[in-house]
Amino acid sequence: MKHSRKVDIGRGAQITQLGLGTAPLGGLFTSVSESQGSALVRTALATGIHFFDTAPHYGKGTAERRLGTALAGVPRSSFTISTKVGRLLVPSDGSDDPDFADADTSTMRVFDFSAQGVVQSLEESLERLGLDSVEMVLIHDPDDFADQAIGQAFPALAKLRDQGIIKAIGVGMNQSAIPTRFVHETDIDFVLIAGRYTLLDQSAALDLLPAALDRGVSIIAAGVFNSGVLANPVPGSHFNYAPASPEIIAKAQALEVLFEEFGVSLEQAAVQFPLQHPAIKAVLVGCRTEQEVKANIVAFDADIPQSAWSALNKFLTANGGVNG
């Protein structure tokens, strides 16, 4: 398995099978310096990762600005960017952000899935990135606005796609029901699904993944470590952005033991597992340091015998999981 292998998404977008998510560039949970952010982006490029996913949500524009700074001077044809729409950043009187340590405190997020809001969001993202265009645009977290996102946001992006301004339209969420609606009700190109097709949670296999296969929609898997418990299953680790329960930790530890019998680490299995399903074309990982980038590449490229996946399938069947 090669992290630098290219796959096609939408109408001409190409991404590497392993991509870099940039929420950490916005200071997700822990602050990241400007120099640290630039170094990890440049390390990703130098080691064969040429797909970067970002969003206005990440640090209220901080991640986009830092990504743009890191990519300044890099040949534009050598990387692919996806950003997101659905949240506008508007001036505020200043407030801390509990999730993003490096957030811009002079702005606040406002959900807007209208056609005008989508176009405005993309224009502002391009300004922060310092770019004339991005290849891929996702409708971000329309949990409470599904009808508007399908009826207004998607058609606005489809016009941009028809004009060749963007190459692929996606929806990015951490639930599968609304993305499945997009697959059935629009001609969306891809879905970024976070945390719903992992070693601990295969719920997307019940609706989204079969629908995507049927309609020819590409899936990109994110959140493959379920917020960290699949990277280090110990008390105090997190599962889906909250402290992991003893039951979740025990299940992750059982998976760790299972894979150790085949000489495979839990991290290697977690980052490669989504690609065992034919609907999933790529994996997105968030990294905070150059060392994490390199470690994820090593894990992604490691050889895992088919016997290990067969053992996993038996484990999932016995423990109420879903075989892809």
pLDDT at 93: 82
pLDDT at 29: 86
Give the containing element (helix H, strand E) for 280: strand 280-286
Query: In 10 A of CB 4, how many CB atoms?
Result: 15
Q: Give 178-230 pLDDT, tens digit per residue.
A: 999 999 999 999 999 999 999 999 999 999 999 999 999 999 999 999 999 99
Q: How confident is residue 317, by pLDDT bands cut at 50, 70 and 90?
A: very high
Instruction: Using a pLDDT cut of 90, give the percent of the chain over it.
Output: 94
Q: Considering the candidates 10, 17, 55, 58, report the single residue annotated as catalytic.
A: 58
| Residue range 265-279: mean pLDDT, rounded | 98
Measured CA to CA, the distance from residue 160 to residue 175 in angstroms comes to 26
Q: How confident is residue 94, by pLDDT bands cut at 50, 70 and 90?
A: confident
| Residue range 226-247: mean pLDDT, rounded | 93
Instruction: Using a pLDDT cut of 70, give the percent of the chain over it.
Output: 99
CA distances from 168 to 8, 44, 106, 210 (A): 10, 22, 32, 20
Task: Report which DSSP code applies to 217.
Answer: -
| Residue range 96-114: mean pLDDT, rounded | 94
pTM comes to 0.96
Q: How confident is residue 1, by pLDDT bands cut at 50, 70 and 90?
A: low
**58 has catalytic annotation:** yes
The residue among 128, 114, 117 whose CA lies nearest residue 60 is: 128
Is pLDDT at 95 greater than 80 in this prediction?
no
Is pLDDT at 324 greater than 90 in this prediction?
no
pLDDT at 323: 62
Q: Give 8-47 pLDDT, tens digit per residue.
A: 999 999 999 999 999 999 999 899 999 999 999 999 999 9
Q: How confident is residue 165, by pLDDT bands cut at 50, 70 and 90?
A: very high
Q: How confident is residue 322, by pLDDT bands cut at 50, 70 and 90?
A: confident
| Residue range 243-248: mean pLDDT, rounded | 95
CA atoms within a 13 Å half-sphere pointing along the CA-CB vector of 224: 29
Domains defined along the chain, listed by start: 6-318 (3.20.20.100)
Measured CA to CA, the distance from residue 117 to residue 122 in angstroms comes to 9
Residue/partner pairs of 231-237 with CB below 8 Å, 24 or more apart: 231/266, 231/267, 231/270, 233/266
Beta carbons of 22 and 60 less than 8 angstroms apart: no
Query: In 10 A of CB 308, how many CB atoms?
Result: 20
Q: Give 47-60 pLDDT, tens digit per residue.
A: 999 999 999 999 99
Give the containing element (helix H, strand E) for 321: none
